Structure 1
Amino acid sequence: MFSTLARTVAIGVGATAVMDLGGEIVRRTTGVQPLDYRLLGRWLGHLPEGTVRHESIAKAEPVPHEREIGWAAHYSIGTAFAGLLIATRPGWANKPTPLPALLTGLATTAAPWFIMQPAFGLGVAAAKTPKPAVARWRSLRTHAIYGVGLYLAGSAVAQVAPKRAKG
């Protein structure tokens, strides 16, 4: 029997993997590159020195192991967001339904719009990019795919490790 923590990790990692697979499908079909998680690692690598906001994260000094740091953070964040869904809807992990998963995925768009994009020098909701509306749509699409991933991963975990009744 899976503990709640094990379910959360499995769902979070699974949902994040679905998001990455979706990003790869988008890249192959449209040529649009997903976020380079090396930049997330670079941003995190600059935090200990007190740098939260960059004029351009792409032009910031690289940090050692930024790719690995970025990917680890990406999956950790995906797992934390899955944990929020499970914490706010405790029975959901046992009987996943699509709507809470999709709404959670869409709600997580707040993180790039209001935290990451401003910190990377792109402005709130990508306002400083050449095509803010396009960037916003891409963030929504990516996080909607994550929401689908939450439902798919939650359903898979519920099938593989059903919650047993106590007694």
Structure 2
Amino acid sequence: MALLIGAGATAATDIWAAAQKRLLGIPPLDYALVGRWLAHLARGRFRHDPIAASPPVQGERLIGWIAHYLIGMAFAALLLVFWGLDWTRHPTLGPALIVGIGSVAAPFLLMQPGMGAGVAASRTPRPAAARLHSLVTHGIFGLGLYGTGWVASLLDTFQWRSCC
């Protein structure tokens, strides 16, 4: 269930990013740079100034996209650890938003500093706008957790009704 719910919630953030790009001209996160950071991290280098200036790594875009979805699945698993598998049968919005918005701690405290943007985007040209963008995106992730959980609960109910 964590894999399904996490993938669905992550897809919701990707749909949100595509809509922002199309409607508002806001470029989405370049997952190649995330992959570059992770590949360099595996080689012992945490901090870059900025990541775009660091040497590219073969397969960085694929690494970044795979990591993006695996991280979403990990946060969905965290939701289920804290609220239990019963949450998948009766999803509620509160826990999903707590995990979704709470997940913003990862980029604020790990990825952004490591990629040269500073803690909570403090070294970016418009830190307040970057923080708001991150918070909204992670809120969308929380809504995606809830929405995917809700759809999964309906499918699970349908499956049991049709077979038993």
TM-score band, normalised by shorter chain? over 0.9
Question: Counterpart in 1 of 2:58?
Answer: 64
TM-score by length of 1: 0.92
Q: In the alignment, does 2:124 pair up with 1:160? A: no
Question: Counterpart in 2 of 1:121?
Answer: 116
- 1:28 shift after superposition: 1.1
SS at match of 1:103: helix
The AA in structure 1 aligned to 2:66 is A
Q: In the alignment, does 2:97 pair up with 1:97? A: no
Question: Counterpart in 2 of 1:110?
Answer: 105
Gap regions ≥5 residues in structure 1: 1-6
Bigger share in helix: 2
Query: Among residues 144, 147, 162, which one is paired with 2:142 in the alignment?
Result: 147
Could you tell me the percent identity over the aligned residues? 48
Question: Counterpart in 2 of 1:137?
Answer: 132
Query: Among residues 37, 48, 73, which one is paired with 1:43 in the alignment?
Result: 37
- 1:13 shift after superposition: 0.3
Gap regions ≥5 residues in structure 2: none
Runs of 4+ in 1 over 4 A off after TM superposition: none
Query: Among residues 57, 76, 79, which one is paired with 1:82 in the alignment?
Result: 76
The AA in structure 2 aligned to 1:55 is D
State how 1:21-40 maps to structure 2 within 5 Å. Answer: 21-40=15-34
1:135-165: CA deviation from partner (whole Å, max 9, x where unpaired): 000000110000010001000111112396x
Question: Counterpart in 1 of 2:2?
Answer: 8
- 1:27 shift after superposition: 1.2
Distance 2:43 2:81 in 1: 33
What is the total number of aligned residue pairs between the two structures? 158
- 1:103 shift after superposition: 1.6
1:104-160: CA deviation from partner (whole Å, max 9, x where unpaired): 110001011000000000000000001100000000011000001000100011111
Cα RMSD, aligned residues only: 1.1
- 1:37 shift after superposition: 0.7
